[in-house]
Amino acid sequence: MKEKVKYTKLLSKELYEFKPTVFIAILLATITGAALPLLQLLLSAFVIQWLLEGIAIQDYLINLLGFIVLIGIAQMGQHYFMIYVEENKNHFRDFMRNKIQKKYLTLDYPLIIGKEAQERYNNASQLTDNNETLFGRLVMETIELFSSFVGVLLYINILSQLESLFLILVAVFLLIVVVFNVWQVKMDKSLFSAKAANTQKLRYLRNVYGESRITKDVRIFQMQSWFKQVEDQTIDDYHAIHKSKVKLTWTESSLVNMGIIGLSALSYIRSVQLIATGVIPVSSFVVFAGSVTILAQTIITFINALGKMNTSLNETKKYDHFMSQGEVFNHKEGKALPDKAISIELRNVSYTYPNTDQPTIKNVSLTISPYENLAIVGENGAGKSTLTNLIAGLLKPDSGEIYINGIPQSEFNISEYYSLFAPVFQEKFLLTYSIKETIIQGLLFDEMKYKRVLKLSGMTDIISRFKTKDETKIVRAVYPDGVNLSGGQLQKLKLAQALYKDAPVLLLDEPTAALDPIAEHQIYQDYFHFSKDKLSIFISHRLSSTRFCDRIIYLKHGEITEVGTHDELMSNQQNYYNLYEAQAYYYKHDKEEVETEDEQIATGGVI
């Protein structure tokens, strides 16, 4: 119960933050929704009363017109409030989607990696998918719940004036509806897996009918009758699964109708008795008789609305679970960033990914001097990218500490800390901007630096092929006149981004994987020239590309096993030597040519 109260407060808070006037619209829609049926009953009662009293036709028409105008105003008001709600429920859904997306963009990186993290985001995001999901239906569900609740109270009060026995009968009727509603929910849960499996099987069979790859088999092996038997059996299974549900629904409907008949009979009998004795006027018969039917319907609506709201509160847990995630890194005021050459030191750093038993990085200690060009090499899965992610502040060590100029990484504001790094990661993802905007990324424009970056990254030649040069839009799926860049072109564009940021630490995590060895070697040489006044960390699976580095570390199973220059590691003839020789043999003796970069503009791309 405490959890339900908590989530009720949370949803109310989100609605208020979105637009406080929504509550006024909900209140007015609730009042008109509950009052309109009563006003229509009263109109019928007054018409009979006026006729029995024999009032003048002029007064009759004036009274009738006044009542119709009152009902019309109420209907127009309800219609306006519902239009207002209809418009704002879409805006509210967008508001909540933006809130979830903003949270996702500001979450610390460790909170968005891994299967569980992705599920948390997906579960929250799906609540805004359409008007059938939580944040699309919440406002309408709230109106339905409150309107039916007010209606139940209103019509119980009316009928209790006719006969106090109604209170007991209504309570019994309400209990029956509640019991069957709970029973229905439990049955739906118990049948869910069977229904899902049956539906999946039937969907598969119907998809198979249109599968061209098996048409010859179907005819040669005369499989038509077999398919029909399987489908008929699946349909029979469907009806068997739903049989208990149908019986329960039929029983519920029968009891509810019997209840309505019983309440109506009591209402009719008691009304006639009171009319006969002169206690109530004849016109009241319409009100009391009509109230029974409306009450029964309102009770059913209220119970169903209560069940829907209970489901919505349960779904709110997914939203709260995502939005209530805390901070991993320091987002408060931190130490001032170094204004001199950067050095990095790792002391006994270890890291294990969520839901894994073995650490990816094991007790690594390493010092990287200012302006040093360091290469991190090793076989796939050795932990190279994880190590750079730890240094860049994307991951937090489970143990140990990383120091920047002797200051612990944890003492810097993480957003400021990121400004120290210009990375090029393995993953290539482009937003739908122009090439120029993609390279600059919102930074101040420096034309000389920009042109230098284009040349060093190899983008000058690529841009020259396009009609609109660096104003060319990328990702053709969004801009029909845009271009989709090939893998090699994407690599060069991402290099240009890192070079333009001009941060004191450069991180290259296999940025030239899509290029041939000769092109890769040339880009690394250009990059090396650009990075003379920076600390640079290179990761490459091609060891020949890292020969120019001041120092090379070899990672194996998350541990540093070798450190030295290329010549030193070759002379040691250990893991580095073996991997280097294996790659050299491949390039010297493999008969298949190494494919060069496709210089054509590719038809594929990423968004």
Lowest mean pLDDT among 60-74, 89-103, 484-498: 484-498
Under 8 Å between Cβ of 430 and 607: yes
> Mean pLDDT, to the nearest integer, of 463-485?
80
Q: In this model, does residue 220 exceed pLDDT 70?
A: yes
Per-residue pLDDT, 430: 64
Return the CA Rg of the chain. Answer: 36
Q: Residues with Cβ < 8 Å from 528, sequence gap 6 or more?
A: 373, 536, 548
C-alpha 145/C-alpha 6 separation (Å) is 18
Higher pLDDT among residues 385 and 485, named by residue: 385
Under 8 Å between Cβ of 506 and 422: yes
Higher pLDDT among residues 500 and 545, named by residue: 500
C-alpha 396/C-alpha 350 separation (Å) is 9
Per-residue pLDDT, 138: 92
Total residue length of the chain? 607
> Mean pLDDT, to the nearest integer, of 273-301?
80
> Could you state, in order of their start, the residue ranges of all structural domains in the chain?
2-323, 344-429+503-589
Choose from 328-332, 491-495, 543-547 the range with maximum mean pLDDT. 328-332
C-alpha 528/C-alpha 534 separation (Å) is 10
User: For 146-163, what is each residue's pLDDT tens digit?
Assistant: 998 998 888 888 888 777
H helix or E strand, kind and range, residue 254: helix 224-276
Per-residue pLDDT, 585: 67
Q: Which of 295, 288, 243 is nearest to 267 (CA)?
A: 288
User: For 237-280, what is each residue's pLDDT tens digit?
Assistant: 888 887 887 887 788 778 777 877 777 777 778 777 777 777 77
Lowest mean pLDDT among 180-194, 236-250, 360-374: 180-194
Under 8 Å between Cβ of 391 and 344: yes
Under 8 Å between Cβ of 601 and 484: yes
Higher pLDDT among residues 341 and 594, named by residue: 341
Per-residue pLDDT, 238: 83
C-alpha 457/C-alpha 489 separation (Å) is 10
User: For 404-463, what is each residue's pLDDT tens digit?
Assistant: 999 999 999 999 999 999 888 776 666 668 889 888 888 889 999 899 889 888 889 889
C-alpha 594/C-alpha 457 separation (Å) is 22
C-alpha 183/C-alpha 434 separation (Å) is 58
Q: Which of 281, 290, 301, 293 is nearest to 39 (CA)?
A: 290
Under 8 Å between Cβ of 492 and 484: no
Q: In this model, does residue 33 exceed pLDDT 80?
A: yes
C-alpha 593/C-alpha 314 separation (Å) is 59
Higher pLDDT among residues 279 and 308, named by residue: 308
DSSP string, 406-468: TEEGGGS-HHHHHTTEEEE-S-----SSBHHHHHHTTSPP-HHHHHHHHHHHTHHHHHHTSTT
SS3 category, 512: coil
Under 8 Å between Cβ of 489 and 466: no
Q: Which of 135, 148, 29, 36 is nearest to 84 (CA)?
A: 29
454-485 burial: b if 16+ Cβ within 10 Å, else e: bebbbbbebbeeeeeebebbbbbeeeeebbbb
CATH fold of 344-429+503-589 reads Rossmann fold (3.40.50)
Domain formed by 2-323, architecture: Up-down Bundle (1.20)
The model's pTM is 0.73
Per-chain mean pLDDT for the chain: 83
H helix or E strand, kind and range, residue 342: none
Say which amino acid occupies 332: K
64-102 burial: b if 16+ Cβ within 10 Å, else e: eeebeeebeebeebbeebbebbeebbeebbebbbebbee
